[in-house]
Amino acid sequence: MAKINEAVGILVSNNPLYSILIKSNLVNYTDLARALLPQVQGLLNREVKINTIVKALSLLATHEPEEDIFDFLSKANLSLEYKFSEKEAHELKDIDPGFLIAYREESRIKYLIGNEMNGNLACIRISLPKEIAGKPGITLFLVQYLMMQHITLERIYRLSNQILLVSKLPEADLIVKHLSGLFYKSYV
C-alpha cells in the first residue's frame, strides 16, 4: 500500500467508532491521528507525519450525521446509581436477594448488589429504545467512545435493550457527563 489516504481509509472503515465519530463530526482529528499513527506506519512501512493523517481524516468527513445511532441514543434513558458491591457465592441459594446481575466464573458465582453501605461501585444504566435491541455494535461504540475519553470501566453488561456499565465511584459522574453529552448535546 503506497498512499496514506488509503491506509487511513481502511483503518477508519474497519472501526465502527472511528467511522461514526468522523461522520458525525464529533472527533478531534489530532487525537485520532495520534491513535492511528502506529497502525498507518505499520501498513505503509515508513514514517508518517501526524498532520498528514489529520488531513486524510478531514477528507473522509462528510459532515452528515450517522442518523441511526444518534437517533437511537438521543431517545435513550441514562441513570446512575451508587453504592454497589460485587460479591461472591458458591451456590445460587447463597446469593443475596435483590441482586442486580449475576454471572458464573469458574466454580463460583459473582453478583452485583446495590444499597451496600461500603459499596465502592456505581452502575450506569442505559435504557435504549426497543428497536435497537438487535442492532449490533452499539455497546462496542459506547465502550470505545469512553476509552477515547480515558475512562476505565470495571464491568459491561448488555441485556436486550439495556447496557449496564459498572465503574468505580469517582469515575461515575465523569462517565455520565460524557455519555449525556454524546446522547443529548451532540445530536443535531
Per residue of the chain (188 residues), give pLDDT as tens. Answer: 468 888 898 888 888 778 777 776 667 889 889 989 999 998 888 999 999 999 998 888 764 444 567 777 888 899 999 999 999 999 888 999 889 999 898 889 999 999 889 999 999 999 988 877 666 678 888 888 898 888 999 999 988 888 999 999 999 999 999 999 888 875 43
Position 166 scores a pLDDT of 96
Quote the pLDDT of residue 2: 66
- In angstroms, the CA 182 to CA 65 distance is 13
95: cell is: 446469593
Beta strands across the sheet bearing 162-168 = 99-105, 108-113, 77-89, 121-127, 162-168, 155-159
Q: What is the pLDDT of residue 107?
A: 87
The pLDDT of residue 78: 93
CATH of 71-185, picked from 2.40.50.420, 3.30.2010.10, 3.30.2130.10, 3.40.50.720, is 3.30.2130.10
What is the residue extent of each domain of the chain? 4-64, 71-185
pTM of the full structure:
0.66
